[in-house]
Homo-oligomer: A and B are copies of this chain.
């Protein structure tokens, strides 16, 4: 029968510090990603799964739930558990433009237009949650993809966390921050559009008044501290944002 429940081959290491449910989730995830569990395939029910692997039902359940949260499995009461249809099965991650470009096979380069230290404007001070008049590092850069201008990026950071001009290097701000031990955990961003100013058009080597995508972002670390605030513009003809949304 084609609708025999799939049996995943799993080896659990009970002496490992990584939780059993996570080991199991990872194993099933791997089976889905390698295609040995194709979309639509029915899994054995959680009781059988638990029994076979000699774990408790809650443990098996939790593994399955983990994959449902990732969008890789679909469960229906009274019916069973199925591998979700193809689509995206990864959480929307906080990717940097640099990594994005690299992943899509383009060759990103960056040059720094400005690196300065000065008291922050009211807007920046508020976004970074700093005391009034505090000094702020401002970085302006232009990013090119395969040699063609793509975006103008302006970032503001508190002095304590800002990478030096040298550390900034080629590979992007978030990469430099990570090397300083600062991990971005969450960000707010607002995406809009407007017409380019004369100087923006000149820098981007475009005719005046081209359409720009604008993005304003404030990024926070795991403890909730504001790390970075940036205002960026992208050439709309060469870049767009892709996102995946889930209903609550």
Identical chains bound together, number: 2
Say yes or no for A190: interface residue by CB 8 A criterion. Answer: yes
Is B188 within 8 A of A88, CB to CB?
Answer: yes
CA distance A39 to B224 in the complex (A): 10
Residues of B within 8 Å of A195, CB to CB, are 195, 211
Q: Do A244 and B187 touch across chains, with their CB atoms under 8 A apart?
A: yes
Chain A, residues 229-248, CB within 8 Å of chain B (1/0): the string is 00000001101111111111
In the complex, the answer to whether B187 meets A245 with C-beta atoms within 8 Å is: yes
List of B residues within 8 angstroms of A132 by Cβ: none
Which residues on the B side are within 8 Å of A90 (C-beta)? 248
A209 to B207, CA, bound (A): 14
A74 and B187 within 8 A (CB): no
Closest B residue to A69 by beta carbon equals B69
A207 nearest CB across to chain B (Å): 12
Closest residue of chain B to A184 (Cβ to Cβ) is B247
* Interface positions of A (Cβ within 8 A of B): 39, 71, 74, 84-88, 90-94, 183-195, 209, 211-214, 220, 222-225, 236-237, 239-248
8 closest residue pairs by CB, A with B: A85-B224, A193-B193, A192-B240, A193-B236, A93-B248, A94-B245, A191-B241, A94-B247
